[in-house]
Structure 1
Amino acid sequence: MDTNSNVSSHVGLDSLKDAVADTDVVIIPAGIPRKPGMTRDDLFNTNISIVCDIIKVIGQVSPNALVGIISNPVNSAVPAAAEILKKLNVYDPKKLFGVTTLDIVRSNRFIAELKGLCATDVNVPVIGGHSGPTIIPLISQCTPQVTFDHDVLVKLTKRIQEAGTEVVQAKAGAGSATLSMAYAGAKFTVSMCKAILGEPNVVECSFVESSVTDSPFFSTPVLIGKNGIEKNFGMGNLSDFEKDLLKAALPELASNIKKGVDFAKNYK
């Protein structure tokens, strides 16, 4: 390809150190996909082990890298990764990200379709986590401003929360979302690269260590700079409907996070 970038190939855990040594950004999409009837949490045992193996190596050879975790369940994988990095004494909460961009691009698309807008002109912050009821689209904060009747809002929110399941069912066991996930992952990665190159005002929603709510990890819009998170913009003003979504999300988030932390504490 006529680009100025170079590509190197690495296979297996033994070559992982060479793959990630001295990197600025590491994106982790590794793991198995969902099948019909599975939730993201059902992927826990296999995928969390994979994430921990990779994070351990990153902590050893590239502790200053910005790390984005795509592997599901994100709500557990990010807290688990944080614990592994703490064990290595290299944890920096400003540099660890759970990639939830797919929820944003889906929200943008669905709203654009309903309102007859161009999807690239729509931006909806999505907070909380990256599974079912923990996905909270803040439609009241959509740009441009949009309104929906309550019953439409409920159906739209449910569709955003269950969009991944919709794809899994449509593929009938052949896999989960691939093209949209690749797009969302690439979009987030490009933002990370822009940030480390010094481009200003790089803002993405991401599942990060947080004090915005009682949840120790929570997805909100964050400003990303050369050294990671520079500012957490929080939730803004929520509608009553969104407050109810938040209330419903927090118990599941707490359970997901604890599961990841407990796994990592016993990981060797």
Structure 2
Amino acid sequence: MRRAKISIIGAGNVGATCAHWCAVEQLGDIVLLDIPGDMADMPRGKALDLMESSPIFGFDSNIVGTNDYADTADSDVVVITAGIARKPGMSRDDLLATNAKIMGLVCEQVKKTSPNAVVIVVSNPLDAMVQRALQVTGFPPERVIGQAGVLDTARYRTFIAMELGVSVEDVSALLMGGHGDTMVPLASCTSVGGIPVSQLIKPERLEEIIDRARKGGAEIVGLLKTGSAYYAPAGATAQMVEAVIRDKKRLIPCAAYCDKEYGVGGFYVGVPVIVGTGGIEKIVELDLNETEQAAFKKSVDAVKELVGAMAKLV
């Protein structure tokens, strides 16, 4: 039986750590690709190092490091993490011009080598980058997905668990909107052990936790000084890869192409979706209250502004 093939474009911290999670979970064979240059051997070194851990963890995935897109041919899933990382003082939007060009180059190759793949975009600014990936690949929208909501929700759930001193497994939560400061955590869809979070945390304290979740990436950038988060982003991406490879039908928040859905009008934005072998199999539309609708609209408007700015640069 053929193993699934997962190609990860960008062998930096996020890409390599995603390869690690996917290998340990035995999701398939893995190709780790980065560009030629002074560090051309880097993806091969990381792939070999990861392969040498296979006897310890007991996985049989074949892991290849390369600079050649031919090695990624006929991938079932392509994860794109390529792009420059955020530095202290930079917003995700500051990355727009450089990463839009990188995304275009990557997606031209993906289109040629893996025309039937599900593409998961991780590069920032996320909502614009996944829109760019759709434009360049020309793939059906359901096969081009942005990873953001899984990560943002994980941060939100972590902070709630820390606040209450409970297991993260008992915290269920949902966020919508763009990936960044305008994301919309839904208190109405947040519970702990089935108990609405509003009965456990006072509104003003919950708002502080929500604000920390919005700024979760920036907080880590500030602490690391020389890079950005990668353990949680990579773990969130691996969860999405698993949903596709194993046809899990996970109901999770992802950046999905919404046209009539939520009245978005043809942009990628974080919404709850069902993810399986075909990528996004369904967008779940919720009845938002007035406050949530207003916050979501503000977030969507920010995404549209970002995509509009990108259109002037590419």
1:152 counterpart SS class = helix
Residues 137 and 157 in structure 1, CA contact (< 8 A), matched pair in contact too = yes
Aligned residue number for residue 53 of structure 1: 105
Aligned residue number for residue 276 of structure 2: 225
TM normalised by structure 1 equals 0.86
Note the C-alpha offset of 1:262.
4.7
1:255 counterpart SS class = helix
Kindly indicate whether structure 1 or structure 2 has the higher relative contact order, using CA contacts under 8 Å at least 6 residues apart: 1
Matched, 1:164 2:164: no
What is the distance in 1 between the residues matched to 2:98 and 2:299? 24
Judged with a 3 Å threshold, the aligned counterparts in structure 2 of structure 1 residues 142 and 186 are, in CA distance, closer, same or farther, namely same
What is the distance in 1 between the residues matched to 2:310 and 2:80? 16
- Among candidates 39, 61, 66, match of residue 10 of structure 1: 66
Note the C-alpha offset of 1:154.
2.2
Aligned residue number for residue 250 of structure 2: 202
Note the C-alpha offset of 1:146.
1.2
1:64 counterpart SS class = coil
**What is the root-mean-square deviation in Å for CA atoms of aligned residues?**
1.8
What is the distance in 1 between the residues matched to 2:312 and 2:257? 16
Residues 127 and 218 in structure 1, CA contact (< 8 A), matched pair in contact too = yes
Matched, 1:120 2:162: no
Matched, 1:251 2:251: no
What is the distance in 2 between the residues matched to 1:238 and 1:156? 21
Aligned residue number for residue 143 of structure 2: 95
TM normalised by structure 2 equals 0.74
Structure 1 unaligned regions, length at least 5: none
What is the distance in 2 between the residues matched to 1:231 and 1:262? 32
The residue type paired with residue 53 of structure 1 is: L
Structure 2 unaligned regions, length at least 5: 1-53
Residues 176 and 270 in structure 2, CA contact (< 8 A), matched pair in contact too = yes
> Identity of counterpart residues, as a percentage?
29
* 1:99-155 C-alpha deviation (Å, 9 max, x unpaired): 01210110111111222321122221111111211x111121024321143322321
Residues 79 and 261 in structure 1, CA contact (< 8 A), matched pair in contact too = no
Number of equivalenced pairs: 249
Note the C-alpha offset of 1:239.
4.2
Residues 128 and 218 in structure 1, CA contact (< 8 A), matched pair in contact too = yes
